Structure 1
């Protein structure tokens, strides 16, 4: 597992990393759920381990904004992140322009090679501190979320920390639901099997690579 020595694998909670935690030689840390815990916990952890890690790989779940593009059961990766609040999309609020809303991370070569060889699809992530439970119109998606494929709660805060600390970052998700009124219910019914599949494929890839 020498290729992974400087990579920190993260999940938001134990169920997203419980299988890879059993792989000897991997560095795994759960950052917490949502913006606040993930931002604080990850920053504290990294500052306690300066120069230990060069890259972060986040394993999580996501909702798809368009089932014609990404369907439940797909696995996608992302290194482009957006923080676009639904209140702003609905014109209920304005987020000041000085606040960071877009981050493009640089994935490390080892992780990027893995997701490409596993033939995961690339997606742009919108990340907020909640799960969207309303249906967005096609016009709203076109105007505010053009080319944005998935939604996740922690990715933007992790990308922000990685960017500020000059670390590589990539997020990998199992699509558990379509964003909308049934999103939370579908997530609850799909996340466990999805996490098992995602972690299992990564472990299998590592095992095959280590035997070469």
Structure 2
């Protein structure tokens, strides 16, 4: 099953599940309780921490939930904050960080690269967490729409339409959708 966030990121081939960590977790859990899929593929946009360029397409089966305060040693968590799916269908190029906040401090957010984290997407950690709970193989395919800097939102809006088209074409080329 192919899923996406929703609102302005909707595809005719994907089921929207909600924006952010909480909406995604609630709606995807509901789906899995009543109609558990054999495989989950999340598709969507992402912001780059600097190693990936606008319109790069990244496949991943790893996600993290690390807040910016962690990078400055201002917080810690007792929770498992990096998850990995054991599917064999998606390459494991980079870790995707998820938060309910969009990073806009590029100097700080670039520090994620030192942890092997290359992009951010608001929902993906929840997708992996729910998939783990229901023992569903999962992967994600993302397209970079912006860098995590002070222009993140404007660049996202400017690049979003073209990015969604490029992502759809990529999925067609990979025979994931028709």
Structure 2 length-normalised TM = 0.89
Q: Residue 166 of structure 1 aligns to a residue in which SS?
A: coil
Cα distance in 1 for partners of 2:110, 2:118 equals: 15
Deviation digits for residues 81-127 of structure 1, max 9, x if unmatched? 111101222334x2332x12010112253xx3xxx6xxxx8221111
In the alignment, which residue of structure 2 is the partner of 1:24? none
Q: Which has the higher helix share?
A: 1
2:157 maps to 1:185: no
The equivalent of 2:54 in structure 1 is: 72
Gaps of 5+ in 1: 1-7, 22-27
**Are the aligned partners of 1:15 and 1:195 in contact in 2 as well (CA < 8 Å)?**
no
Pair 1:164 & 2:133 matched: yes
SS at structure 1 position matched to 2:93: strand
Equivalent position of 1:147 in the other structure: 116
Match of 1:136, SS state, is helix
Which of 24, 29, 33 matches 2:19?
Answer: 33
3-state secondary structure, aligned to 1:175: strand
Q: Give 1 or 2 for the bigger CA radius of gyration.
A: 1
**Unpaired segments ≥5 residues, structure 2:** none
Alpha-carbon spacing, 1:15–1:83, altered in 2? closer, same or farther (3 Å): same
Q: Which of 74, 92, 96 matches 1:125?
A: 96
The RMSD of aligned alpha carbons is 2.4
SS at 1:150 equivalent: strand
Q: 1:13 aligns with which of 6, 9, 16?
A: 6
Q: Normalised by the size of structure 1, how large is the TM-score?
A: 0.75
Contact 1:17 1:199 in 2 (8 A): no
Q: Would the alpha carbon gap of residues 135 and 177 (structure 1) be closer, same or farther in structure 2, given more than 3 Å must change?
A: same
Q: Do the aligned residues in 2 keep the contact of 1:125 with 1:150 (CA within 8 Å)?
A: yes
Q: Distance in 2 between matches of 1:138 and 1:88?
A: 11
Provide the rounded CA distance (Å) in 2 between the counterparts of 1:95 and 1:194.
Answer: 34
Pairing partner for 1:49 from 35, 38, 48: 35
Task: Give yes or no for the alignment of 1:96 onto 2:77.
Answer: yes
The size of the alignment, in residue pairs, is 178
Alignment partner, residue 42 of structure 2: 58
